[in-house]
Amino acid sequence: MTDITQICEQLKLLAINAAIEDARTGGEGKAYSDLSERYSELITQTTAYRRMLGSASKESVRELTQSLLETRRRIDELAETVSRLTLPAGSM
């Protein structure tokens, strides 16, 4: 996630630089204006992807935690069963 955040920050700086160049050239440098717009679109898309990945990561962690808890429960049940099977016959 840190890489995506850094990319967003770099894109923001590039968009600002392009907007400054556009203003400096008095709008004659249409390429700078177009570039600034494209950078802004990339920022929007990248931010959306970052949010989607964050949600997916949280959901994955939640699912993994549930799986681990279920596995732990089953191990405990198995240990209890093994314990009962290995007790001497008269101790039950």
| Each residue's pLDDT tens digit, 17-27 | 888 888 888 76
Q: Check residue 88 and give its pLDDT.
A: 65
Q: Global pTM?
A: 0.52
* Tokens linked to 57: 């990561």
Residues 8/51, Cβ–Cβ less than 8 Å: no
- The CA radius of gyration of the chain, in Å to the nearest whole number, is 29
Residues 9/50, Cβ–Cβ less than 8 Å: no
Share of the chain above pLDDT 90, in %: 0
Does 32 score more than 80 pLDDT?
Answer: no
The whole-angstrom separation of Cα 30 and Cα 28 is 6
Main-chain dihedrals φ then ψ at residue 36, nearest 5 degrees = -60, -45
- pLDDT tens digits, one per residue of 39-65: 888 888 888 888 888 788 888 888 888
* Tokens linked to 56: 């997916």
The whole-angstrom separation of Cα 42 and Cα 11 is 7
